Amino acid sequence: MEAVFIKIFNMSIAAGWLILAVIVLRFLLQKAPKWLTCTLWAIVAVRLICPFTFESAFSLIPSAETVSPAVVRYAPEPAIDSGIPAIDGMLNPMIGETFAPAPGASVNPLDIWAFAASIIWVIGLVAMFEYAFISFLRLRGKVREAVPLQNHAWICDGVKSPFILGIVKPRIYLSSSIDAEQTKYVLTHERAHLKRGDHIWKPFSYVLLAVYWFHPLVWAAYILFCRDIEFACDERAVKDMSFDGKKAYCHALLSCSMPGGMRVSYPLAFGEGRIKERVKHVLHYKRPALWAMLAAVGACAVVAVCFLTDPETDVSVETTDVPYDDMSETSNTPHDDEFETSNVPYGDEFGTANPPHNDVGTITFVGVIVENTMDSVKPLILVQPIEAEISYDHICFVLPDDMADWATQINSVVSITCKDAFEETQPPFGELISISRAESSHDLQAMFRTFGISIQLPGNSNWIQNIEYRQPDEDHLEIDYHDAILDADCKLLSIRDGMPDLPDIVYDETLEETWQGTSSSGQAVYINLQRSADSTQVLASWEYEEYQFALLADVPAKTGDLGAIAKTAITVISHLE
């Protein structure tokens, strides 16, 4: 439920930019036919419905994912990515300070708030549907004694203003007090609704409103859409009328106006909306010029291209943007074609012409990128050292945005050369001289390609430390790491088309727990968490498609909170495709 709400929330933000664009364009296209304005609202509906869209260089959506589920659940410094640096710079320091998890905490505060928000969202969703259902039952009660008039039109004493009720078999209900002259104009209008399919589109738009009830711009879109479909039907009804016919039509509008204005879930009613504006529009209506039609159609196409697509993800960086040591003589040496994300040179220890940095005050080592976080100024790349002689838990390097994007895309081993200017305090910062892709036995991408699926642990070095990857064969993947929260050495076993070889340990059945994770594709995965009677031996096991997973932990001391083990499993599951 929480993952669904976060997805809906991100979709609502992206759609909000489109709604703002449509509101502005709606004002500029006042001379255009109203059916084109309704088309713009249809584009908004598509954005609200589709969970996935194409990327485009023409997209004007700042960010496709403002709130990342991974950030909500696991980030040590929660932050948003609105796509607008000024907003991120203003909000992220407050968000990071307010929702930063306490050391040793098994759940992020932001995760708790997101769960609470998802509960409130469901309550609001149910209330919206309940309101619509009760309104429908009340209307059905009012028209229970209606009698047929002609061609789907019915007369009822309990009806004050004409309206359409029903989706599969819609009926037009008229007041028994309406005269024959007004009946002609009312039926012309309501049948225009039926031909346009508005008796389907309005309930459908209410469903979208119920899903996105928390977003004020969606409410604005719903209200304006209801007005525009009435204007569109007015135009269709009077397009062939004389001026006297238009005056009679307006008289019918005034006579049948709904008391109290439009209700939120009210069906299509002849006298709803702003009657004064509708009368003025009808009396001054003229067929739009061809140039106005073409301009309006072009505007709709531009809006669709710019706001139905997401911004492109930049996965490359030019060589000139990467800081190198002046000693490197072959900085333009290309990678293998297998890795086209950058033209960064390899170091000599990996088989190319670049000599290693032996200057006093520099150090070169191999590391695995485990996280990409954002502070209020610049992105930080956290690198997990492999060499035992480096005593730091992690080393932070301040990188430009494009370099950070490249390093995150690598998701593998890199060669780091930096000035040896670290302090004893944590976290130590080093001045980066060069960073390059390392050709080594720790090539994670190669492992994952062979294994068939990518395995990612939580990217918090205050929690997960000393990661070591091994691949005995193409069907087995082993990851050893240290859980700093439990002070426990752990092993993650991943087996394809088989069962893991587990140690012979007796687990206490009364201590078993079931946790649930959700894969990136939305599939629910259930985790069986077992522990020995003294809670020093812990096993979390689950399966995903043809893969079996087992996470073993050897906890040195008895502990009552083993949520970190389940949380690690949930993180792995959340990245499974």
Two structure tokens written together for 116:
């609470």
Contact 478, 472 (CB under 8 A): yes
Regarding whether 103 and 145 lie in a shared domain, the answer is: yes
* 369 within domain boundaries: yes
Indicate if 387 and 465 belong to the same structural domain: no
Q: Which of 259, 253, 283 is nearest to 271 (CA)?
A: 253
Assess whether pLDDT exceeds 80 at residue 11.
yes
pLDDT value at residue 94:
83
Where is the domain boundary, 280, 307, 334?
307
Cα 168 from Cα 142, distance rounded (Å) = 20
Q: What is the amino acid identity at position 296?
A: A
Number of separate domains in the chain: 3
Whole-angstrom Cα distance, residue 418 to residue 426?
17
Whether residues 22 and 60 share a domain: the answer is: yes
Q: Kindly tell me if the per-residue pLDDT of 451 is higher than 50.
A: yes
Instruction: Report yes or no: 218 and 18 within 8 Å, Cβ to Cβ.
Output: no
Interstrand relation of 362-374 and 413-419 (parallel, antiparallel or unpaired)? antiparallel
Pull the structure tokens for residue 72: 């909500």
Residue bearing the bigger pLDDT, 506 or 264 = 506
pTM for the full model? 0.56
Task: Tell me the C-alpha to C-alpha distance, in Å, between residue 112 and each of 101, 105, 126.
Answer: 11, 12, 22
How much is the mean pLDDT over the chain? 74
What's the order of all strands across the beta sheet hosting 171-175? Answer: 147-150, 153-156, 171-175, 163-165
Q: What is the mean pLDDT of residues 359-384?
A: 44
Q: Which residues make Cβ contacts (< 8 Å) with residue 510, sequence separation at least 6? A: none
- Residue 63 contacts residue 17 (beta carbons within 8 Å): no
Inside any domain, residue 493: yes
Per-residue burial over 61-92, b if 16 or more Cβ lie within 10 Å, else e, is bbbbbbbbbebbbbbbbbbbbbbeeeebeeeb
Same domain, 400 and 486: no
Whether the pLDDT of residue 332 is over 50: the answer is: no
Q: How confident is the model at residue 539 (pLDDT cuts 50, 70, 90)?
A: very high
Do residues 268 and 351 share a domain?
Answer: no
The helix/strand/coil state of 155 is strand
* Tokens representing residue 2 in the block: 């929480």
Q: What is the pLDDT of residue 287?
A: 75
In a domain? residue 313: no
183-201 mean pLDDT: 87
By mean pLDDT, which of 56-65, 204-213, 354-363, 444-453 is the weakest?
Answer: 354-363
Can you give the pLDDT at residue 179? Answer: 82
Per-residue pLDDT reduced to its tens digit, 39-74: 899 999 999 998 878 888 888 888 888 887 767 766
Please report whether residue 314 resides in a domain: no
pLDDT over 70 at 575, yes or no: yes
Residue, of 79 and 117, whose pLDDT is higher:
117
- The amino acid at 542: W
- Distance between CA atoms of residues 7 and 37, nearest Å: 28
pLDDT of residue 119 exceeding 90, the answer is: yes
- Residue 395, classed as helix, strand or coil, is strand
Query: What domain range includes position 461?
Result: 448-574
Residue 567 lies in a domain: yes
